């Protein structure tokens, strides 16, 4: 645990002077080791690690961040629905390009984000495609039965905006899928 030395504590940290009998007991009786929560072949991420920690084999159960985000919001997915995680991001113009300045929309509030997602759903949602507000910059788009009608959609190579090394938005003429969405098919 990180901490900062405090002058009034004689240059010691609060943890150094704290009475910690339970932590001391754990340190004496516990075991230390390493656990690999992200199997070979997966990009390290919390969604993969969390599945592993809870006993789900990511090779079998991981189909993208979108279904996990949808389930966390209590949304019901059907077997051929595609769920996409949709991030609100901050973009800025840079000459002819549009650059992603911030992958989390400045840590937008839930209330502000909910208004934007409601507007997005009103303008772009259909009977098949719906947008659902989540928390802060993290939201979900569900496309009903898309996996049946468009089986090649599962092969899209979508990238979470926070891992994009090139912050150029796909609003320019770049034909790759948008960096603002990630996800894939629901669980069967």
The pLDDT of residue 103? 87
Give, for all 188 residues of the chain, the pLDDT tens digit: 568 899 999 999 999 999 999 999 999 999 888 889 999 999 888 899 999 999 999 999 998 889 999 999 999 999 999 999 999 999 889 899 888 888 899 999 999 999 999 999 999 999 999 999 999 999 999 999 998 888 887 677 777 777 664 555 444 443 333 334 444 444 32
DSSP 127: S
Dihedral angle at the C-alpha atoms of 107, 112, 114, 118, nearest 10 degrees? -130
Alpha-carbon span 165 to 178, nearest angstrom: 14
51 vs 62: CA distance, rounded Å: 8
Instruction: Write the CB contacts of 107 (distance below 8 Å, at least 6 apart in sequence).
Output: 136, 137
pLDDT confidence of residue 2: 66
Tokens for 43, please give them: 């990009």
Collapsing DSSP to helix, strand or coil, 7 comes out as helix
Kindly report whether the global pTM for this prediction surpasses the value 0.85.
Answer: no
pLDDT at 185: 40
**Predicted local confidence at residue 177, as pLDDT:** 33
Domain boundaries of the chain, sorted by first residue? 17-62, 63-188
Reported residue count of the chain is 188
Contact criterion met (CB below 8 Å) for 108 and 118: no
pLDDT computed for residue 168 by the predictor: 52
Name the nearest CA neighbour of 82 among 185, 188, 169. Answer: 185
Check residue 175 and give left, alpha or beta (phi > 0: left; psi -120 to 50: alpha): alpha
């Amino acid at each position: 645990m990180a901490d900062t030395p405090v002058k009034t504590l004689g240059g010691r940290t609060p943890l150094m002077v704290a009475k910690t009998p339970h932590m001391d007991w754990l340190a004496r009786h516990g075991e230390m080791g390493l656990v690999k929560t992200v199997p070979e072949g997966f990009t390290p991420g919390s969604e993969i690690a969390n599945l592993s920690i809870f006993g789900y084999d990511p090779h079998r159960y991981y189909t993208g961040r979108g279904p996990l985000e949808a389930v966390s919001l209590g949304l019901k997915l059907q077997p051929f629905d595609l769920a996409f995680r949709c991030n609100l991001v901050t973009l800025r113009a840079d000459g002819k390009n549009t650059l992603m300045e911030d992958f989390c929309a400045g840590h937008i509030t839930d209330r502000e984000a909910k208004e934007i997602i409601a507007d997005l759903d009103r303008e772009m949602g259909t009977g098949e495609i719906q947008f659902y507000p989540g928390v802060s910059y993290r939201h979900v788009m569900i496309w009903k039965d898309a996996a049946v009608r468009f089986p090649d959609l599962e092969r899209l190579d979508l990238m979470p905006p926070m891992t994009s090394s090139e912050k150029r938005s796909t609003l320019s003429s770049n034909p790759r899928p948008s960096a603002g969405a990630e996800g894939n098919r629901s669980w069967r």
